[in-house]
């Protein structure tokens, strides 16, 4: 019998991030002090301070919107698309050139494993700028009329789970279409957005085209409410999205919302089970489950449920939870103490309501915010863990007997962002995809993103699309 062994530590150097003691907001092509109360961003893996960040006040929001309007009127909207494209190409290349720095900084500030920020977040962010650079001089061929015009100033509010990637999803199409941007990053993860300001400067982007205002929810609210903003784009919780929708109602502002989710990942009895298990793990434990479209509800056909759960537990036992900067880490740190408390409370409610809890026996670090991968079985649809978005590494498992029952259970949610299907039959994939009420449906895979493909949901998962040709419409006056 072989002796048990473990991976030797393989830490990435935190010095690569170029972490500074303090960061300032980016307005009109310069880094300037904000007049709001400074905030301290914390490292989720340790709970210790990373940097002090200057934040915006209402006056700063007003100034940023005014300079964005000036840049829109005088420079950016008048610039030929082929010229705008050059700036987007430069930004994309700069993201690639500074990829290691951005990846390490993202993992420090967010808590996600370095292999995810390095291999997924940063390359996909660059891909979005490359893709939209290609559209900048072809907007007349996008299907929205022969000469579509930009909307104006876009106020964009992004979440903490994919700080750099969500920035790219928002800024790249806005700039390609000729709009200017005021962006509010999440309070707990502002650092890569501020470094992006440096990339804009390095690319020679005209002052005022992109502005970055760190701060808490009051800054986002001031941006959404500002009368000089023509278009609002928000990714975040459904609760906040509803408040934003109420705030912009009747103002004439354009709005897109990408909100919460409670995605069903459906495994039929003819599915390739080992492949499905990998997809289940990726669907819920990628980025610690901090994913709007996470496959947090596993629906398994009864005849294979026991086998799937056994394989799943064996696979989860191999996941390494720990230091986000260790290249061997599979599951990093929870982003904040508040989020850890919510995950813990919802998991405890699952036990209290009668679901069977299984938690990975992995060792957790002694400091920082961590939660072991957890799977619930014997889950009923009425339980909170089957209905509420946990936004953490917690999987709820339900069973079904017939395909019709699977669709009924999958659609039994107020959300509608994504879903997954696992089966060998192409006809069953098409049959199920047509009946699932979800904006994105993956077949025999999960969490696959491409800038050429639109992403978005409906019901309480929001409306509008980001990415692809369809995602351009939100930033064009058509």
Which positions are catalytic? 258, 292
Strand 22-23 relative to strand 48-53: parallel, antiparallel, unpaired?
parallel
Could you give the C-alpha distances from 130 to 89, 121, 311, in angstroms and in order? 6, 14, 40
Please check whether residue 474 is in contact with residue 464, taking contact to mean a CB–CB distance below 8 angstroms: yes
Phi and psi angles of residue 298, each rounded to the nearest 5 degrees, phi first = -95, 120
CB 360 within 8 A of CB 338: no
> What length is written for the chain?
478
> What letter would DSSP give residue 465?
-
Q: HSE-up of 133 (CA within 13 Å, CB side)?
A: 17
Which of 216, 230, 220 lies closest to 177, judged by CA?
230
Q: What burial class does residue 353 get, using C-beta atoms within 10 Å of its C-beta: 0-12 exposed, 13-18 middle, 19+ buried?
A: middle
**Cβ within 8 Å of residue 95, ≥6 positions away:** 102, 122, 125, 126, 129, 168, 199
Report d(CA 26, CA 140) in Å as an integer: 32
Residue 46 C-alpha from the chain's centroid: 23
Reduced to 3 states (helix: H, G, I; strand: E, B; else coil), residue 23 is strand
List the Cα angle 328/169/188 in 5-degree steps: 60
Closest of 334, 338, 337 to residue 289, by C-alpha = 334
């Amino acid at each position: 019998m072989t002796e048990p062994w473990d991976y030797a530590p393989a830490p990435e150097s935190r010095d690569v991030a170029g972490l500074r003691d303090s960061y300032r907001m980016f307005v009109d092509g310069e880094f300037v002090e904000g007049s709001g109360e400074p905030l301290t961003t914390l490292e989720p893996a340790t709970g210790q301070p990373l940097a002090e960040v200057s934040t915006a006040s209402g006056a700063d929001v007003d100034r940023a919107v005014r300079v964005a309007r000036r840049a829109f009127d005088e420079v950016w909207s008048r610039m030929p698309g082929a010229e705008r494209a050059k700036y987007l190409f430069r930004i994309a290349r700069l993201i690639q050139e500074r990829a290691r720095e951005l990846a390490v900084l993202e993992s420090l500030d967010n808590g996600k494993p370095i292999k995810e920020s390095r291999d997924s977040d940063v390359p996909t962010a660059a891909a979005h700028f490359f893709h939209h650079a290609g559209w900048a001089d072809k907007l007349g061929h996008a299907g929205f009329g022969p000469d579509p015009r930009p909307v104006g100033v876009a106020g964009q509010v992004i979440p903490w789970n994919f700080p750099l990637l969500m920035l790219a999803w928002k800024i790249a199409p806005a700039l390609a279409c000729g709009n200017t941007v005021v962006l509010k990053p999440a309070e707990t993860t502002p650092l890569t957005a501020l470094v992006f300001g440096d990339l804009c400067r390095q690319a020679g982007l005209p002052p005022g085209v992109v502005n970055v205002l760190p701060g808490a929810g009051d800054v986002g609210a001031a941006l959404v409410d500002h009368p000089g903003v023509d278009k609002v784009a928000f990714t975040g919780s459904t609760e906040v999205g509803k408040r934003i929708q109420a705030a912009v109602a009747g103002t004439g502002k354009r709005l897109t919302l990408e909100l919460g989710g409670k995605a069903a990942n459906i495994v039929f009895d003819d599915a390739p089970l080992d492949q499905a298990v990998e997809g289940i793990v990726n669907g819920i434990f990628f980025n610690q489950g901090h994913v709007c479209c996470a496959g947090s509800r596993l629906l398994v056909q009864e005849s294979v449920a026991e086998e799937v759960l056994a394989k799943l537990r064996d696979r989860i036992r191999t996941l390494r939870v720990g230091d986000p900067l260790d290249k061997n880490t599979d599951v990093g740190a929870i982003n904040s103490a508040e989020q850890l408390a919510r995950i813990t409370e919802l998991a405890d409610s699952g036990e209290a309501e009668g679901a069977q809890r299984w938690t990975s026996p992995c060792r957790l670090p002694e400091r920082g915010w961590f939660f072991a991968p957890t799977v619930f079985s014997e889950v009923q649809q009425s339980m909170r863990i089957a209905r509420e978005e946990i936004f953490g590494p917690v999987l709820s498992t339900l069973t079904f007997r017939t395909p019709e029952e699977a669709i009924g259970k999958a659609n039994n949610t107020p959300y509608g962002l994504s879903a997954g299907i696992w089966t060998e039959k192409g006809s069953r994939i098409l049959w199920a995809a047509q009946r699932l009420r979800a904006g994105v449906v993956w077949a025999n895979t999960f969490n696959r993103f491409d800038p050429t493909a639109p992403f978005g949901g409906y019901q309480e998962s929001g409306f509008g699309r980001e990415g692809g040709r369809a995602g351009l419409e939100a930033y064009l006056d058509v």
